[in-house]
Amino acid sequence: MAAAEAAPDYEAAEVYTRAFRVGALGRGWRRHLGPPDLSLAGEAAADAEAAVAAELGCAAETAAELRAVCSIGVLMSSDKEEDPDVIPEDSSLLTLQIRKKALEKREETIIVDRACRQETLAYEMESHAIGKRPDNPTDQVEEGELLLTLNIFYPVIFQKHKDHKPYQTVLVLGSQKLTELRDSISCVSDLQIGGEFSSQPDQAPEHISKIQICLTRILDLLRSNCYYWDSLKKHDRASSLLAHLKDLYKSAFFYFEGIFYNDRRYPECRDLSRTVIEWSQSHDRGYGNLQSVKMEDYTFNDLSLKIGFPYLFCHQGNCEHIIIITDIRLIHHDDCLDKNLYPVLIKKHWLCTRKCFVCKMYTARWVTNEDSLAPEDPCFFCDVCFRMLHYDAEGNKLGDFLAYPYVDPGIFN
Amino acid sequence: MTEVPGLQADCEELLGAFREADTVRFERFAELWRERRFHTVFYGRIRALERNKLTKKTLEVAQQYFLPPYTFQIRVGALYLLYGLYNTQLCQPKQKIRVALKDWPEIHKFQQDLIDSQHYDAAYIFRTLRLARAFHFTAMPKLLNYRTKKKFQESECKEEFKDPSNRVNSLITNDVLEELMNIHDHYQKMKCVISADKSQPDKALSLIKDDFVVTLKDITLEHQEWQQKRMKLFINAKETDEITNKKEERTFLESEGSERANALARIKYRSYSAVVEASKSRRHRQVKLESSESGSCYGKSPSKKNSRRPQPARRRDEVQVARETVTRHIGMPVIMEEDNSDEEGVSLPKRKRRC
């Protein structure tokens, strides 16, 4: 019988832990806890005095007394009319005194005090999956399952994000494969369209609009079902969407604790990590033994990870995202228990979309370089303004420029 | 929001009052809670998103008092506090209390202690929380996002709340002493066996002190007593400070005799621990009093005390200075070595060597 593995603990105090097997954490907790703690059923009903007496080793009368003395009503206000929005005038609590001042100051400076759309979105994202249950009981998450919270950082695009990089927060189950997380990561670089189209603007693959993003996601879902997929591939729109890079360059890898997990599900996928491994092995660079394995063979429970330590996700050859696991815990009755909804996105950074230089209204769809007609390089245009400025009524190219279809990072808002 | 301003002070005030009450009964805690109307700590016009963050932070602050090194009474108070905060929170669904795997054995032991010592109300409350699914069973107590630049607020260690650190006692336990005694006896017997005179070992074989186990036990006891005395002094000093602030003239005249004795004792302490301030030309070699405290919040600059010279005239100053002395400079009792060098002596040459 293997010795009990040590519980995770800090390697760098308050910053990150040492590496440990994720599955071991689940085993560790399940060893300590009994069925009532692990159960995903609702809150246990108030139980009989006999059960209380047995567990605490006291008399039944004592149990009844305990229930009365320790009831939560004892701590609540007897005044039913209290309004939680109103801070009591004569409170002795320092917290409330400070809060009151802050609220008063807010009232002075803010004219209309309500949630802006970013806040509403953030709250919605945080709570939309709470408590969800699957229609099919076989899709329910099991007791004792682990829930990991990951922060996936955007590749740094803007200077202003240098110090506080924007990130998405995703919840995954321990039993899920790495490929499921990989498929759920939506990065704008997947939607980029390669190629210079100044001479033939009409031939650029269809621009991405929000509806099309939705369609892309639906396509991903349907991909798993061969019947629908075959008939869809014949459809024009679908095939033009497929021309986007996500499908052209499917390779990707995760890097955790010295091992590269490469996506090898499709024949087009390549081992992107090979270069790194060869480089590391060519001389004694002090990086130890780096390995390369298949992403689809591993679940999160199989991994060795540090909590709070940055790892890497790389796709499109050079689009890199830092990944940090911020938390691992046992699944709870209040969590989303529908397996199919995982990985769940619970937080997203709001990126302002870049607007057309001319009209300042529509999101930019084209970017030009070395443009004799534009005041700056690079310059961004929406479709209408782009054509109006750069082409005449017959569609002939005016002036010298290079034009590329542009997908704004804020497209996922 | 990184912290809730004022919350730690309120929690410490409530736990402090509970400690004063010198009981672990929930009834008493509930009285104190109701007095302060603590359930209103969540009140105020707060929108849902911020309320979630606030509640999580509140539970986090309360939870830190639930684990060692805090005293048993404080931990029970923290349990009651968590119970109250969890049930009076306004979030729907409720925010949970995070428990890390590494802390669980301690918590389980705590629960067993409660049941064994028949503190039924505390045990019942812990059981209720568990059945209500109030806990998240996690890997680590807080979420970690690789914030290396974040300044850690020096968590105010309320000395009165903490158990005196029992490092010496946990090393030299009764079992260890018994074992040592057995080995020592066995060793003596072996020496006798191989000696010419079977009743006592040869003089040539006497390589250790015969009574070292007893001496070790005495030293351990002495350390424990010293720790308890220090704790008492600290608390007394704090109380004295309050008394000084409240009753101005009266107290001084009353127990003058004992006060003087106390003051003399404190001056003695101070003289053992005071250090001569180096002259300006040797500013970079400012002498430092090496305090043997571990992990205490005494780690403020020692130069502060140098400015507080003795002022025998004004009693209040003296007491206050003494308080500062007591709280900052309780050095370990000096162990006299053969060469009689005073570890915390004033001699500059010694300091120079060490610097």
CA distances from B67 to A211, B218, B339 (A): 52, 31, 44
Chain B contact present for A14, CB below 8 A:
yes
pLDDT tens digits, A217-267: 666 555 545 445 555 555 666 555 554 555 556 789 999 999 999 998 887
Chosen from B47, B101, B103, B106 to mutate, greatest number of chain A CBs within 10 A = B101
pLDDT tens digits, B271-309: 554 444 445 555 555 555 444 433 333 334 343 334 344
pLDDT at B257: 54
Closest among A299, A301, A311, A258 to A25, alpha carbons compared: A301
Query: Percentage of chain B with pLDDT > 70?
Result: 61
Please give the average per-residue pLDDT across A188-200, as a whole number: 76
Chain A contact present for B38, CB below 8 A:
yes
Chain B contact present for A327, CB below 8 A:
yes
**Contact at 8 Å (CB) between A20 and A5?**
yes
List the single range of A407-411, B38-42, B147-151 with lowest mean pLDDT.
B147-151
Touching A: B residues 122-151, CB under 8 Å: 123-125, 127-128, 130-133, 135-140, 142-148
Q: Where are the beta strands (DSSP E) in A161-251?
A: 167-173
CB nearest to B145's CB, from A17, A28, A324: A324
pLDDT tens digits, A255-277: 999 999 999 888 777 788 888 88
- Tally A–B CB contacts below 8 A: 195
pLDDT at A179: 92
pLDDT at A301: 95
Chain B contact present for A9, CB below 8 A:
yes
Task: Give the separation between CA A290 and CA A271, rounded to whole angstroms.
Answer: 13
Q: Is A179 exposed, middle or buried (0-12, 13-18, 19+ CB in 10 A)?
A: buried
List the single range of A193-202, A293-302, A389-398, B70-79 with lowest mean pLDDT.
A193-202
Q: What is the mean pLDDT of chain B?
A: 73
pLDDT at A4: 57
User: Count of alpha carbons within 13 Å of B140, Cβ hemisphere only?
Assistant: 27
pLDDT tens digits, B229-254: 887 887 777 666 656 555 544 544 44
Touching B: A residues 292-311, CB under 8 Å: 307-310
Highest mean pLDDT of the ranges A71-75, A134-138, B178-182: A134-138
Residues of A in contact with B137 (CB under 8 A): 29, 33, 37, 329-330
Report DSSP state, residue B143: -
CB nearest to A43's CB, from B13, B108, B133: B133
Q: Which chain B residue shows the shortest CA-CA distance from A323? A: B145
Chain B contact present for A196, CB below 8 A:
no
Residues of A in contact with B115 (CB under 8 A): 56-57
Please give the average per-residue pLDDT across A188-193, as a whole number: 72
Q: At what angle do helices B72-88 and B7-21 cross, to 10 degrees?
A: 130
pLDDT at A303: 94
pLDDT tens digits, A339-351: 999 899 999 887 7
pLDDT tens digits, B98-141: 999 999 999 999 999 999 998 998 999 999 999 899 999 999 99
Give the long-range contacts of residues B213-218, CB within 8 A, separation 24 or more. Answer: B213/B177, B213/B180, B213/B181, B213/B184, B216/B172, B216/B177, B216/B180, B217/B172, B217/B177
Cα B309 versus chain centre, distance: 28
Q: Give every CB contact of residue A384 below 8 A, 6+ residues apart in sequence.
A: A359, A362
Q: Which chain A residue shows the shortest CA-CA distance from B30? A: A75
pLDDT tens digits, B10-28: 999 999 999 999 899 999 9
pLDDT at A381: 92
pLDDT at B227 over 90: no
Closest among A68, A45, A98, A53 to B30, alpha carbons compared: A68
- CB pair distance less than 8 Å for B137 and A75: no
- CB pair distance less than 8 Å for B87 and A74: no
Confidence of residue A395 (pLDDT cuts 50, 70, 90): confident
Q: What is the pTM of this model?
A: 0.69
Task: Give the separation between CA B242 and CA B246, rounded to whole angstroms.
Answer: 6
> A330 φ, ψ to 5°?
-75, 150
- CB pair distance less than 8 Å for A95 and B131: no
pLDDT at A375 over 80: yes
pLDDT at B336: 54
Confidence of residue A71 (pLDDT cuts 50, 70, 90): confident
Residues of B in contact with A324 (CB under 8 A): 144-146
pLDDT at B341: 41
> Which has more confidence, B57 or A1?
B57
**Contact at 8 Å (CB) between B321 and B310?**
yes
Cα angle A151, A152, A157 (rounded to 5 degrees) comes to: 130
- CB pair distance less than 8 Å for A115 and B140: no
* Prediction ipTM score: 0.81
pLDDT at B285: 54
| b/e B165-191 (16+ beta carbons within 10 angstroms → b) | eeeeeeebeeeeeeeeeeebeeeeeeb
**Contact at 8 Å (CB) between A295 and A328?**
no
pLDDT at B110: 94
> Which has more confidence, B189 or B2?
B189
Report DSSP state, residue A189: G
pLDDT at A239: 56
> Which has more confidence, A341 or B257?
A341
Confidence of residue A74 (pLDDT cuts 50, 70, 90): confident
Report DSSP state, residue A355: B
Chain B contact present for A75, CB below 8 A:
yes
**Contact at 8 Å (CB) between B32 and B82?**
no
Report DSSP state, residue A139: G
